[in-house]
Amino acid sequence: MARKNKKREAGSGSITKRKDGRWQGQYVSDYDPKTGKLRRHTIYGQTQKEVAEKLRAATSSIDNGTFQEPRKITVAEYAAEYMATHVATLTDSTQRSYEKNLRLHILPALGTRRLTDLTHREVQRFALSLGVGGKGLAPKTVHTVFGTLHALLTAAQRDEILQRNVADFCSLPRVTQTRAKAIPSAELNQFLDLIRKDEFYYLFFLDIFSGMRQSEILGLRWADIDWNRNSLVVRKQLQQKCKKGDYSYTLIPPKENKQRRIILAETAMLTLQKQRTKQQRQRLAAGPLWNNPFDLVFTNEFGRALNHQTVYKHLKRLLRSCGMGDYTFHSLRHSFATISLENGDDIKTVQTNLGHSTASFTLKTYAHVSDQMQRSSAARMEELISSLGAVN
């Protein structure tokens, strides 16, 4: 009877749990020409499933002849693996951002370099090449591109290809806090008068007086409206997939993954009622062509989700037509915040309505509102002084 061969073959692997709680997978690849023994490799992960996926990818590459030793893998080769295994679980917009940063900036500069040969000085030079004196990217864009590279190298470190992240402690250009560009009240009245008969009037009006992000108001559903409490709850945001052959829409959680309730003015609630009546008429007119699977508040005439760019470009045309071309969709949100602060809302309330992570961020973003607030404060102080009779 033939004895069972206990030696591993190239492409085989196993998974075990470590004492520190992590999981590890071990596999063998080709034979070392010097020793004649199979080369053994170890991969790590936080869960058994994660390691199993990495192990399948590694052993599959051995079977089809595309395997490359981790120490020889280039930035471009690891980037492909990184996008497929790590970034694939992130939102579509984040995936698009990472893909763009890699394709336009990181891979042309560093793609052919071996991961293990990258140095801190080389990565620092790359960072400098993105800004002034190089590609001339804005400081905020430099931070975004560099963040993608740093995340990729962090993943390579977790995969134990790198001992350390050479992108740590790099010097990046300082990002200057930009002033939130809100539409002044006088111009806001002019704008609302101009668009009163526009097809997106209710959408723009509600955004000005709720402060929602564009993706949040486009993802607003009728189930999110609380008619009894004159409020709405931001539970989702609308996002369009931009993968080859798939441009469908999906609803994802809001930023910071935090829902928030916004109590609306009565006129804003009346606007929602008018939008509901308008949509009911559109539904009757569309008949069997009506298709609103998410039950969205704002749709086209056939119930389909509104495209972000379509709405944005439409608004820009309207703004330019009344000499306000410097403003954007985000200016509507800024207008809500500015009006709230100038009318005496406390910073915590404004932070909650906007969905900011901290009140300090709200204060920093809207520091320019302080002039009007200080004048109002001085006027209230004058009233107090007069009431005390402290002036001779």
Chain segment 115-160, per-residue pLDDT in tens = 988 999 999 999 999 998 899 999 999 999 999 999 999 999 888 7
pLDDT band at residue 79 using 50, 70 and 90 as cut-offs = very high
> CA 96, CA 308: separation in Å to the nearest integer?
15
> CA 220, CA 236: separation in Å to the nearest integer?
7
> CA 255, CA 251: separation in Å to the nearest integer?
12
Q: What is the CA radius of gyration of the chain?
A: 28
Q: What is the pLDDT of residue 8?
A: 43
Q: Is 333 a catalytic residue?
A: yes
Of 237, 190, 218, give the one whose Cα is nearest residue 92: 237
Is residue 155 within 8 Å of 147, Cβ to Cβ?
no
Given the residues 41, 86, 213, 334, the one annotated as active site = 213
Q: What is the pLDDT of residue 33?
A: 65
Given the residues 113, 114, 283, 330, the one annotated as active site = 330
Q: What is the pLDDT of residue 389?
A: 66
What digits encode the pLDDT tens for the residues 190-201?
Answer: 899 989 999 999
Which region holds residue 280: left if phi is over 0, alpha if psi is between -120 and 50, else beta? alpha
pTM over the 0.95 mark: no
Given the residues 54, 105, 333, 334, the one annotated as active site = 333
> CA 202, CA 223: separation in Å to the nearest integer?
18
H or E stretch including 379? helix 370-388
Given the residues 19, 34, 37, 244, the one annotated as active site = 244
Say which DSSP state 38 is in: E
Q: What's phi and psi for 352, nearest 5 deg?
A: -65, -45
Helices and strands in the chain, H and E counts: 15, 8
Residue 384 has a CB neighbour count (10 Å cut-off) of 10
> CA 231, CA 245: separation in Å to the nearest integer?
38
Q: Is 244 a catalytic residue?
A: yes
Q: Is 366 a catalytic residue?
A: yes
> CA 228, CA 65: separation in Å to the nearest integer?
64
Q: Is 31 a catalytic residue?
A: no
